[in-house]
Amino acid sequence: MDLKWMKEAALEGRLAHGKTGTNPPVGAIIVKDEEVVGRGHTSHLGGPHAEVQALKMAGNDAKGATVYCTLEPCAHYGRTTPCCEAIVRVGVSRVVVGIQDPYHKVNGKGIQYLKDHGLDVEVGFCEEEIREDLKDFLERVALEQQD
């Protein structure tokens, strides 16, 4: 079922293409009892990230649910607060991540934060598809890290 839900998250992320500024067009869905209870995608630059939008939609149903997100939840303070903290705060029990975020301020830190707070975390679903969806972001991050 994880593959099915990650494909759904990837479809959600595509709704953000061309609308996120320098942020990646991430998709997230929240599943509880095999039903989608929340969904979201990256909004305009400085706006809520996909996970936060999905958590807001899910409300209390997020407790004990599984979050599927195409890119590792952010772990740093910037224009928004860290998504990994929001996920832990509402009581999600499991997170399935499409690909790890290579951005130096995240790059495994979001995944580690979730694990450190007792969540079951799995990484590596629909990787080829998601890398294609996030190609512009991934290329930009790779170039920045060469400097």
pLDDT tops 80 at residue 57: yes
Question: Which residue in 8, 35, 51, 72 is the catalytic one?
Answer: 51
pLDDT tens figures, 107-146? 999 999 999 999 999 999 999 999 999 999 999 999 988 8
51 is catalytic: yes
Distance between CA 134 and CA 127 in Å, rounded?
A: 10
Distance between CA 67 and CA 135 in Å, rounded?
A: 22
For the chain, list the domains and their CATH numbers: 1-145 (3.40.140.10)
- At 127, is the secondary structure helix, strand, or coil? helix
| Cβ neighbour number for residue 102 with a 10 Å cutoff | 17
CB 77 within 8 A of CB 83: no
Share of the chain above pLDDT 70, in %: 99
pLDDT at position 45: 80
Distance between CA 27 and CA 68 in Å, rounded?
A: 8
The model's pTM is 0.95
pLDDT at position 144: 87
The answer to which of 26-30, 40-44, 98-102 has the lowest mean pLDDT is 40-44
Distance between CA 98 and CA 127 in Å, rounded?
A: 6
With a CB cutoff of 8 Å and minimum separation 6, the contacts of 43 are: 16, 19, 20, 49, 53
